[in-house]
Amino acid sequence: MGTTLVDVKRAFGLQSEYKWTAKNSSVSERKEHLRRLRSELQTRAADLEAAVIKDLPQPPSPDEPREVTWSCGAIDRTLEELDEWVRPQVMEPSPWLPGTVPSVEYEARGVCLIFGPWNVPVLLAIDPLVAALAAGNTVLLKPNSLTPATAAVLAEVIRAVFDERLVAVFEGGDDVADALLDQPVDHIFFTGSPRVGRIVMAAAARHLASVTLELGGKCPAIVDGSHDLADSARLIGEGRHANGGQVCFAVDHVWVRSDVLEAFLTEYDAWVNAHLLSGGGVDPSAVTHLIDQRNTDRVLSLVDDARSRGARVLRGGELVAGQRHLVEPTVILDAPLDSRVMTEEIFGPVLPIQTFDETDDLLRHMRSAPKPLTLFVYSDDEAFVSAVQAGTSSGGVTVNGWGSHFSEPKVGFGGVNSSGSGRCHGVWGFREFSNPRAVVKHR
């Protein structure tokens, strides 16, 4: 029997009472919860890895299971730094309030609802869970229904570690998500598409819950030719094809200075041939498949739309022979800027390439688009990089790398406007799940 509305209401009721106990838990108690979670994740690491590969076929990790390893890393950082994070920030009083002690104390928000995504289904459920528990909250956790095998194992992990008064996990589809959104929770953390993000934000508004939205968007890369083109092509290849392109901060499209276009295309082709092909074709066991038929059809329709509107498909654009959810590595040149491949998030192994000559023209094009989650710049010209940063807005920026601002927890990760709101990772995640409470004490 699946989750019912009664189950959801019961768990919310339990957590509504228990959140005051969780809020006043000690740092040592919170750390013990995280240690137990870490231990269970390691115990079930092989099961979780197998479930992820079943849901989203991909090359197995050559070493430790990737998502479990990353999740344990987030726990380790939290265990190491939590004592510092929870410490009140004491400040000097203003001249007009002599004899006072002003401070900011981070208190738990309360009952937090976390929606995990399907593209990185373990890490992106566990990472916000760790932050929420570190801040002293209770959690209603909803793994994604598009990865049912992973959701099932995650549910077993959570139930083995936590009393449902502290963490309750719910499998199921949209009906379960809707039931959870109907509860007057204190905070919602959602990772997913901008379309569903709007639904979550509207639901949160009914209860005036605070919201963190980790969304996607069309993350552009810019190549001006001053940075080594082979390195630029390698990084863009990794950024486009990691997880089959199904990453919220994937390189979505590229702007290349026109005088280095041919050289860049040569280097990018060489990278694709060396890393994604085998025996003259795509090796199905070496790349991540698309999640389902709907998304496969959607990605192919983006290519078809661009082709029908005069864009040049330089390579790929078709299904890999004998595969249902594997699209060839695709390069599209000069798609109209109002075509679907240039206006919709791709989330697949398709790379549109545009050219530019003048920096002002490039910035004008970029400012006309919604603010992306990430901006990638491949340039050794500091003046050019500064001009791009000054002339654009994005959730984060990586220069001459790929995804480094995601991997570095010290800087925080998140979007802006249509690409999201709020920040996660490290102390940023702890603060996202906390209320920074102003306290002024008179002596």
By annotation, the residues acting in catalysis are: 214, 248
Match 């039931």 to its residue by tokens: 179
- CA–CA separation, 342 vs 358, rounded Å? 20
| 2 within 8 A of 177, measured Cβ to Cβ | no
Say which residues have a Cβ less than 8 Å from residue 62's Cβ, sequence separation at least 6.
Answer: none
| 409 within 8 A of 401, measured Cβ to Cβ | no
Say which residues have a Cβ less than 8 Å from residue 269's Cβ, sequence separation at least 6.
Answer: 315, 331
Which of 218, 177, 178, 215 minimizes the C-alpha distance to 193?
215
Task: List the structure tokens of 261.
Answer: 């276009």
| 426 within 8 A of 223, measured Cβ to Cβ | no
Q: What is the DSSP letter of 185?
A: -
Measured in degrees and rounded to the nearest 5, phi and psi for residue 148 equal -65, -35
- CA–CA separation, 278 vs 401, rounded Å? 26
Helical ranges in 87-209 per DSSP H:
123-134, 148-161, 174-181, 194-207
| 184 within 8 A of 93, measured Cβ to Cβ | no
Q: What is the DSSP letter of 346?
A: -
- CA–CA separation, 155 vs 149, rounded Å? 10
- Rounded alpha-carbon distances, angstroms, from residue 328 to 240, 244, 261: 13, 10, 22
